[in-house]
Amino acid sequence: MKNTIMENKNFRPLDLKKKMRPGESVIQSLLFISGVLSIFITVAIVYELGKEALLFFNNPDVTLTKFFATTQWQPGIGLFGIWPLVTATLTTSAIAIFVSLPLGLAAALFLSEYATPKARSTLKPILEVLAGIPTVVYGYFALLFMTPLLQSIFGESVQVYNMASAGIVMGIMILPLIASMSEDALSAVPRSLREGAYAMGATKFETSIQVVLPASLSGVGAALIIGISRAIGETMIVAIASGSGPNFTFNPFKAAETMTGHIARISGGDLSYNSIDYTSLFAVALMLFLVTLVLNLISQVVVERFREKYE
Amino acid sequence: MQTNETPEYAIETKDLSIFYGAFKAVSDVNMLLEKQKITAIIGPSGCGKSTLLRAFNRMNDFVPNSHVTGEILMRGQNLYGSNIDPVEVRRSIGMVFQKPNPFPKSIYENIAWGARINGFKGNMDELVEQSLRGSALWEEVKDVLQKSAYELSGGQQQRLCIARTIAIQPSIILMDEPASALDPISTLRIEELMQELKKNYTIIIVTHNMQQAARVSDYTAMMMLDKEGSRSGTVIEFSETKRIFTNPKDKRTEDYVTGRFG
Amino acid sequence: MNPTDNHYPTGESFRKSLNGRYRIASIWQAIFFSALLIALLSLAALLYNVVDGAFGYVAFEYKNDPTEFTAKPLDDLNKQELLEILQTNLSSGAYTKLDNEKTMEKRSKSVLYTLVLERLIQVDTKKTWSMTDSILRGNEIKAEVAKKYPEAKLEFRSWLTPVFLTTPMSSKAEFAGVRTAILGSLWMVGIAILFALPIGTGAAIYLQEYATKNFLNRIIQTNINNLAGVPSIVYGMLGLAIFVRALEPFTSGSMFGITDTNGRTILSAGLTMGILVLPLIIINGQEAIKAVPDSLRQAAYGIGATRWQTIWHHVLPNALPGILTGSILAVSRAIGETAPLIIVGASTFISLDPEGPFSKFTALPIQVYQWTTRAQTEFHAIAASAIIVLLILLLTLNAAAVIIRNRVQRKY
């Protein structure tokens, strides 16, 4: 039999001209649309939140002075001071960061500088489990474990709903995030820096704290910013444990409603669409979106810079 | 430290073998290294030059499952003895690495840091200046001491690393291909600096550049895989540099230095 | 430099200061480790707290004495006898209504038993205790009950039972179950994935395989990273404004002739959740596609394949396990999310199974939220049981993801 594979192909007709491939173009367009859709989502968020927030601020009763300079928030009865919601958000977030930053950073230092590979591979999944638990479960934990615990330590001054227990549990929730981002940053520090420090007669601790940690500081900073953003946007823990009702206070043992908790409570009921209560929620949500957006952007830029430094 | 007078040997190895787990990376090295001399370790890549060098200041401790047999003796004390502290070892045996690795701190802090952790009590400004003069960097950086060390050129960074090493006043300095990442002019400056440094320090340098070894060193150790098919390196010949390059005893050394090998 | 200028501690004094440095180092090492220990203990405390709540003593009274309905002890009744009791004692209207929901004869014995308790005997829970209390202070509890509630029965109960999984909501904690919530969650997640997986994978393919480094594509990438960090409650607000309100004719099903609902349906919730997990799916998809070695693409191009042929026949099959893992993670995120569902308007009390995308619905985390915030402790007990169900569901999903991931790691 004749082997056609081995024949000389030089006599075959050759056409190298560009061909239309309609299928390819259709698919590429569809893929492009999928990619661009994400931009539409952002635009939709800004548009929808902005539209309703604008309705809120266009209400003749609402003035920017009232919004930023008074301290009571009851849109239904004409009180438009945003501060009680903001202070509660700040207080719970500050407590959460106060818990999660030192613990998360310490855990990251242990994992990246001290733990053997074997220990690391058992300890990291535990942190991942902690990160995978739904926040509503943390809410249960805050209300039915942390609050009684705080009450047994600090006594009567701790209210049933209080910002401290919500904040602490939120800190536990954020801890894995800060630990894993910081660990990434610490591990990215080149080994040569550690060797340089060891060769100068530094102990492991001196190397970790005085050379590796400063070198990874921007990465740790990015972790901190993401942690703050997460704490500000977290809803279920504060909705369950922090209290229902705006309260202008920084006292962590008192009940106070955060921005997110307020949205959850008000929208949970049957809310009529054109009421001031409805539009006010969008104003609060818009603030929330903008604050977290700025924080996320900063953190991305910081991480990007950090990556460039060592690559 | 310089008071207790000793024979002319700074450090000595006895039947030194280095293992990574079960793998023997370097086997049976016996060397006597003279004080205030430069000893070069040369040989083809992968023969364990850096491993041997890193054994002298116990940097291999950080490699999991690594261990040594035999002894490295420094003034009668075995560096791998059970009562020896690796931090003390590294304090008295400094090291300069292949790629400059200054700390992400100011030029001043790069030198002051090592001194501080080692309990330096004297005048820090003076120490920084002396160290920088010692590494021939002072004139270039004296006005920018607070700038980040990362703003220096590669050659300057490497001299800064030498400065920070001499600031802690070791008696031996290990150099792991210190000029391999540098341009020829920076390399020359480092080589000149080494001649200056050897007045006070014993230097052991690993290099893959035979001309460099011939130029700078007083003694040369030739390393090679110990036999065909084995993966363990060993020192096959160790003597005065002049002799290694002009009249080697070992055929393999001759092949290597004349370029007929590897 | 003059080597005699030695300002360093030597010999004994250096050793002494070195010991001090080592001491500080080991103290800090212990501190670093204890941070991990605290994380570990928190996890243990959380899990223990949940289990602790789901089991324990409960003191309850019967409003109506069982002997009014039957001479036999309740536990000895068979299915037929239970059915007869219900038939004779329930009003005919109530019985017909139950029968219409599901034919009574087809219901299991345990369901009928629960109905007898719920509708006829009517249990009144007086007090519940946690598992730890029940075990450690059993005798005290018995004494307390005997003194305070002389009529009450005391039993050690697991609130998490097979019946709990299969019964719908009830206003009484003793008879409430998570059936409607589980079904609601499954419907919602199904819609979310159906929406987000194709679009997310498409976007990931576009960004990895087609996008050049231009301004628009950089914006898309940054934007996706940002969307991943937007608080979930904001997605809830978006869902409320768009799906519940603006697209009400579509999401309520009135376009399709369904009239009994508003926009607060499973479809709205599913689409909202789909948008929420979209960035997650895109980012994971990109990682999976990135991991496919370039040599494979070049091999395909080398034998004259078009770009899409290369992607479809070589890149995607190899990235599939990674994409799958990402989807599973997205599913578990969607199952646990609560806040957007509250905003979009999950109903809190539903006793009917969802029938389709246009049904009102509830979901597992919504039930956990509702029951946790009730004042009565028996609701906390069923909240804990629902959490266990939720966590087991998530654990199963994540285990699946880990298994798939390990398979892939072995391959390359």
Q: Which two structure tokens, joined as six digits, stand for B202? A: 């014993």
Q: Does C302 touch chain B (CB under 8 A)?
A: no
**Cα B170 to Cα C199: distance, rounded to the nearest angstrom:** 63
β-bridge pairing C55-62 and C153-158? antiparallel
Spatial separation of the C-alpha atoms in residues C113 and C111, rounded to whole Å: 5
**C374: nearest Cα among C185, C188, C170:** C170
**Closest Cα to residue A91, out of A218, A277, A221, A249?**
A249
Q: Which of A3-12, A177-186, B79-88, C251-260 has the lowest mean pLDDT?
A: A3-12
> Does residue A18 have a pLDDT over 90?
no
In tens, the pLDDT along C237-296 reads 999 999 988 888 888 777 787 766 777 889 999 999 999 999 999 999 999 999 898 888
Q: What is the pLDDT of residues A88-109, one digit of tens each?
A: 999 999 999 999 999 999 999 9
CATH number for the region A73-310 comes to 1.10.3720.10
Q: CB within 8 A of C123, min separation 6: which ones? A: C60, C61, C62, C63, C117, C172, C174
Q: Are A222 and A303 in contact (CB under 8 A)?
A: yes
Q: DSSP letter string over A268-295?
A: HS---TTSHHHHHHHHHHHHHHHHHHHH
C312: three-class secondary structure by DSSP: helix
Task: Kindly identify which residue of chain B lies nearest to residue A118, measuring between CA atoms.
Answer: B64
H or E stretch at C56 = strand C55-62
C6-50: pLDDT as tens digits: 677 777 888 888 888 999 999 999 999 999 999 999 999 999 999
Residue C4 exposed, middle or buried by CB count within 10 Å (0-12, 13-18, 19+): exposed
CA distance B204 to B10: 11
Using DSSP, how many helices (H) and how many strands (E) does chain B show? 10, 10
Residue A90 tokens, joined: 């700040």
A172 contacts on C by Cβ (under 8 Å): 39, 42
**Per-residue DSSP letter, C64:** S
* Continuous H helices in B135-248: 138-141, 154-167, 184-197, 210-216, 241-246
Predicted local distance difference test score (pLDDT) of residue C3:
43
pLDDT for the residue C408:
65
Is residue B1 over pLDDT 50?
Answer: no
pTM for the structure as a whole? 0.86
User: Where are chain C's structural domains?
Assistant: 57-157, 179-411
Decide if pLDDT at A277 tops 90: no
Contact predicate C193/C281, CB 8 Å: no
Residue C9, helix vs strand vs coil: coil
The pair of structure tokens assigned to A215 is 């070198």
Strand B23-34 vs strand B9-20: parallel, antiparallel, or unpaired? antiparallel
In angstroms, what is the C-alpha Rg of chain C?
A: 30
Task: Please list the alpha-helical segments (H only) found in A234-258.
Answer: 236-241
User: Across the interface, which of C1, C5, C8 has its CB nearest the CB of B119?
Assistant: C8
User: Looking at residue C4, what is its pLDDT?
Assistant: 41
Task: Output phi, psi for B235, to 5 deg.
Answer: -85, 115
Which residues of B have a CB under 8 Å from any CB of A? 57, 59, 62, 64, 87-88, 90-91, 94-95, 97, 99, 101-105, 113-114, 117-118, 161, 164-165, 168
What's the token pair of residue A290?
């903008």
| Alpha-helical regions (H) of C252-376 | 266-290, 294-302, 307-310, 316-336, 339-344, 364-372
Q: What percent of chain A has pLDDT over 90?
A: 64
- pLDDT score of C351: 72
* Facing C8 at nearest CB: one of B120, B123, B133: B120
Over residues A134-171, the pLDDT tens digits come to: 999 999 999 999 999 999 999 889 999 999 999 999 99
At C56, phi and psi to the nearest 5? 150, 175
Do strands B202-206 and A73-74 pair parallel, antiparallel, or not at all (unpaired)? unpaired
Q: Could you tell me which of C175, C176, C60 has the C-alpha nearest to residue C125?
A: C60
State CA B6 to chain mean position distance: 21
CB B73 within 8 A of CB B258: no
Could you tell me if A164 and A252 are in contact, meaning their C-beta atoms sit under 8 angstroms apart? yes
CA–CA distance, C347 with C361 (Å, rounded to integer): 6
Mean pLDDT for B87-92 is 88
Contacts of A199 in chain B (CB under 8 A): 57, 59, 90, 94-95, 97, 165
Query: Which A residues 286-305 touch C at CB under 8 Å?
Result: 288-289, 292-293, 295-297, 300
Looking at the domain that runs over C179-411, which CATH code has it been given?
1.10.3720.10
Cβ pair A173, C43 in contact under 8 A: no
Tell me the residues of chain A between 6 and 65 that have a Cβ less than 8 Å away from chain C. Answer: 21, 23-24, 27-28, 30-39, 41-42, 44-45, 48-49, 51-52
Confidence band, pLDDT 50/70/90 cuts, at residue A61: confident
CB A92 within 8 A of CB A258: yes
Burial of C406 (0-12, 13-18, 19+ CB in 10 A): exposed
Tell me how far apart the alpha carbons of residues C189 and C195 are, in angstroms, rounded to a whole number.
10
Beta-bridge partners for C61: C124
